């Protein structure tokens, strides 16, 4: 629907959505799009959604309104599967001591995997870029720029290509090969940086005015959040408009978490859900866990993490721009933050792949590590409904996974799963 105004999440300042905006000019706060949802209440009901397009654009009324002659820039993103987990994450050993396989009882019936790996460009980043590029086209912007840990860059490149807009992407030089390759094929201008995403962000900030780029960095424009909030609408719709007890989300810049929380507030305003909320859980890599550290220290913002290192590239964010929003959500929802080591993540990938048929991105598999830890600590009980987000596909990380395997096991038994190589036939 029509955006009423953009609101600063720090000082509450209102800005017009009639022209492109980045952050609050007063205090640098993140801007949220606000709508007159009260006028929609009662008119748009959950049952109106049935039969609509199986993409996130089924929620068009709660996304920015376009002119009659405009269409969203879409590649079919969203409305991804909500899989009832077959083995419940194998959180606890079975009574007979065996590793849980497919559950035959209701012991693990509450665990779901929201599989974002099926999105265009293989990650949930597609959702945010679909709306951000749609709005960039609406405003007549010609050149977009963003720093990226990898997948956001790939998604920006794809949607910019579909919209006929230039994309300028700055990525660490050691991102997965798939991210470099996809950006190249989508026709983006790519700069590989000997540093982290924070260094890439600085480069975009330094050059954007001179180059005439509009900055679509994480949380530095209001519309990637709008795309990602659709995950919150989908969780509710796919679970019959009853939110789960917990949501575990791999958190780098935090847009997924922030977007879903916004969706829950909007759905309450629309009268679609009540005031209940899931416990929101951030999972980060042990080699880069600024939010975990800040939460443990009782801080409302994070400190820059020195020496960030993990093969879960999307979690290699040493300081999130919206850290104050993430920490606020964790507190308000009585959630928590958990760290997963690269070894634990690799084992969780193997577990999901071999027992569920889900080949998850390392970031996504970290959700399973967090779930196991939170079951073992008693934070979640067997009967709690918990949604574990797999934010991307492992197919984008094959080089990283192989390198990580070698690190974990320098001399792996030859071709364990492929029965050796027989030749030369
Ligand atoms: C697969 C994957 N999961 C999670 C994240 C973290 O997302 P966010 O920045 O929204 O916290 C990223 C970011 O690059 C990612 O690519
Ligand atoms: Zn402000």
Q: What is the pLDDT averaged over residues 19-24? A: 97
Work out the pLDDT band at 408, boundaries 50, 70, 90.
confident
Q: How far apart, in Å, are the Cα atoms of 107 and each of 1, 103, 189, 206, 329?
A: 43, 7, 50, 54, 29
Q: Which atom of ligand 1 is nearest to the CA of 317?
A: 9
Cα 146 to ligand 1 centroid, rounded to whole Å: 14
Dihedrals φ, ψ of 43, to 5°? -85, -45
Answer yes or no: is pLDDT of 424 > 50: no
Contact predicate 77/156, CB 8 Å: no
Answer yes or no: is pLDDT of 198 > 60: yes
Residue 88: what pLDDT?
A: 76
Cα 303 to ligand 2 centroid, rounded to whole Å: 21
| Neighbouring C-beta atoms of residue 384, cutoff 10 Å | 16
User: How far apart, in whole angstroms, are the C-alpha atoms of residue 395 and residue 358?
Assistant: 11
Nearest CA to ligand 1 atom 15: 314
Q: Which residue has the tokens 């801080």?
A: 299
Judged by DSSP in three states, 125 sits in helix
Answer yes or no: is pLDDT of 217 > 60: yes
β-bridge pairing 214-215 and 336-340: unpaired
Complete edge-to-edge strand list for the sheet that includes strand 31-35: 14-15, 3-8, 31-35
Contact predicate 155/123, CB 8 Å: yes
Q: How far apart, in Å, are the Cα atoms of 350 and each of 156, 312, 382, 420?
A: 30, 15, 22, 20
- The H or E element that residue 163 is part of is helix 151-163
Contact predicate 282/257, CB 8 Å: yes
Higher-scoring residue by pLDDT: 228, 413:
228
- What's the pLDDT tens digit per position in 87-122? 876 644 444 555 555 554 444 569 999 999 999 999
Residue 68: what pLDDT?
A: 87
- The H or E element that residue 340 is part of is strand 336-340
User: How far apart, in whole angstroms, are the C-alpha atoms of residue 302 and residue 285?
Assistant: 15
Residue 394: what pLDDT?
A: 98
Contact predicate 420/414, CB 8 Å: yes
User: How far apart, in whole angstroms, are the C-alpha atoms of residue 251 and residue 258?
Assistant: 10
- What's the pLDDT tens digit per position in 124-154? 999 999 999 999 999 999 999 999 989 999 9
Cα 70 to chain centroid distance, Å, stands at 27
Ligand 1 mutation pick, 391, 393, 394, 396, max ligand atoms within 8 A of CB: 391
Contact predicate 342/311, CB 8 Å: yes
361 Cβ below 6 A of ligand 1: yes
Cα 222 to ligand 2 centroid, rounded to whole Å: 13
Residue 35: what pLDDT?
A: 97
Q: Which atom of ligand 1 is nearest to the CA of 252?
A: 11
β-bridge pairing 82-84 and 111-115: antiparallel
Cα 31 to ligand 2 centroid, rounded to whole Å: 8
Contact predicate 288/316, CB 8 Å: yes
Judged by DSSP in three states, 76 sits in coil
149 Cβ below 6 A of ligand 1: yes
Cα 290 to ligand 1 centroid, rounded to whole Å: 15
Q: What is the pLDDT averaged over residues 256-264? A: 98
Q: What is the pLDDT averaged over residues 167-187? A: 96
Comparing CA positions, the residue from 192, 63, 73 lying closest to residue 121 is: 73
123 Cβ below 6 A of ligand 1: yes
- The H or E element that residue 326 is part of is helix 323-332
Query: Which ligand is closest to the CA of 28, given by its number?
Result: 2
Cα 249 to ligand 1 centroid, rounded to whole Å: 9
255 Cβ below 6 A of ligand 1: yes
Residue 106: what pLDDT?
A: 46
121 Cβ below 6 A of ligand 1: no
Query: Which ligand is closest to the CA of 26, given by its number?
Result: 2
Give the global pTM. 0.93
Work out the pLDDT band at 235, boundaries 50, 70, 90.
very high
User: How far apart, in whole angstroms, are the C-alpha atoms of residue 13 and residue 222?
Assistant: 14
Cα 332 to ligand 2 centroid, rounded to whole Å: 21
Q: What percent of the chain has a predicted confidence (pLDDT) above 90?
A: 88
- List of residues 6+ apart from 293 with CB closer than 8 A: 302, 303, 305
Look up residue 175 and give its two tokens.
């991102």
- What's the pLDDT tens digit per position in 267-317? 999 999 999 999 999 999 999 999 999 999 999 999 999 999 999 999 999
| Neighbouring C-beta atoms of residue 424, cutoff 10 Å | 4
User: How far apart, in whole angstroms, are the C-alpha atoms of residue 198 and residue 206?
Assistant: 13
270 Cβ below 6 A of ligand 1: no
Q: How far apart, in Å, are the Cα atoms of 185 and each of 121, 155, 163, 174, 256?
A: 12, 12, 15, 18, 26
Q: Which residue has the tokens 């920006």?
A: 156
Residue 98: what pLDDT?
A: 57
80 Cβ below 6 A of ligand 1: no
Residue 87: what pLDDT?
A: 83
User: How far apart, in whole angstroms, are the C-alpha atoms of residue 85 and residue 88?
Assistant: 5
Residue 108: what pLDDT?
A: 57
Nearest CA to ligand 1 atom 10: 255
Cα 209 to ligand 2 centroid, rounded to whole Å: 22
Ligand 1 mutation pick, 114, 148, 151, max ligand atoms within 8 A of CB: 151
Q: What is the pLDDT averaged over residues 49-58? A: 97
- What's the pLDDT tens digit per position in 155-172? 999 999 999 999 999 999
């Amino acid at each position: 629907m029509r955006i009423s105004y953009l609101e600063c999440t720090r000082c509450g300042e209102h800005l017009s959505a009639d022209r492109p905006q980045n952050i609050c000019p007063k205090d640098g706060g993140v801007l949220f799009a606000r709508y007159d949802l009260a006028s929609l209440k009662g008119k748009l009901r959950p049952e109106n959604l049935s039969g609509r397009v199986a993409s996130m654009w089924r929620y068009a009324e709660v996304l920015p309104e376009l002119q009659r002659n405009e269409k969203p820039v879409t590649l079919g993103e969203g409305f991804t599967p909500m899989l009832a987990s077959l083995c419940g994450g194998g959180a606890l050993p079975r009574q007979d001591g065996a590793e849980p396989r497919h559950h035959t009882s209701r012991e693990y019936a509450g665990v779901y995997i929201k599989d974002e790996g099926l999105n265009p460009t293989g990650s949930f980043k597609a959702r945010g870029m679909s709306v951000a590029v749609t709005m960039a086209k609406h405003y007549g912007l010609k050149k977009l720029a963003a720093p990226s840990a990898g997948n956001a860059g790939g998604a920006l490149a794809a949607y910019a290509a579909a919209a006929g807009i230039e994309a300028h992407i700055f990525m660490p030089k050691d991102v997965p090969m798939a991210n470099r390759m996809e950006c190249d094929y989508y026709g983006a201008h790519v700069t590989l940086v000997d540093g982290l995403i924070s260094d890439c962000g600085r480069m975009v900030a330094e050059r954007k005015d001179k180059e005439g780029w509009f900055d679509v960095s994480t949380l530095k424009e209001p519309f990637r959040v709008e795309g990602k909030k659709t995950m919150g609408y989908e969780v509710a719709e796919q679970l019959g408009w009853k939110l789960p007890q917990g949501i575990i989300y791999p958190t780098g810049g935090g847009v997924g978490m922030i977007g879903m929380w916004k969706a829950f507030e909007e759905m309450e305003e629309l009268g679609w859900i009540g005031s209940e909320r899931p416990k929101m859980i951030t999972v980060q890599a042990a080699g880069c866990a600024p939010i975990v550290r800040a939460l443990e220290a009782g801080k409302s913002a994070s400190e820059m993490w020195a020496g960030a290192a993990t093969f879960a590239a999307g979690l290699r964010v040493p300081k999130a721009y919206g850290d104050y929003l993430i920490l606020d959500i964790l507190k308000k929802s009585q959630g928590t933050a958990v760290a997963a080591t690269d070894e634990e993540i690799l084992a969780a990938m193997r577990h999901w792949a071999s027992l569920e048929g889900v080949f998850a991105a390392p970031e996504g598999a970290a959700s399973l590590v967090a779930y196991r830890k939170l079951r073992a600590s008693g934070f979640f009980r067997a009967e709690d409904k918990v949604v574990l987000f797999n934010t991307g596909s492992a197919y984008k990380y094959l080089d990283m996974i192989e390198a990580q395997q070698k690190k974990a096991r320098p001399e792996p038994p030859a071709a364990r799963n492929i029965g050796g190589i027989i030749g030369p036939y």
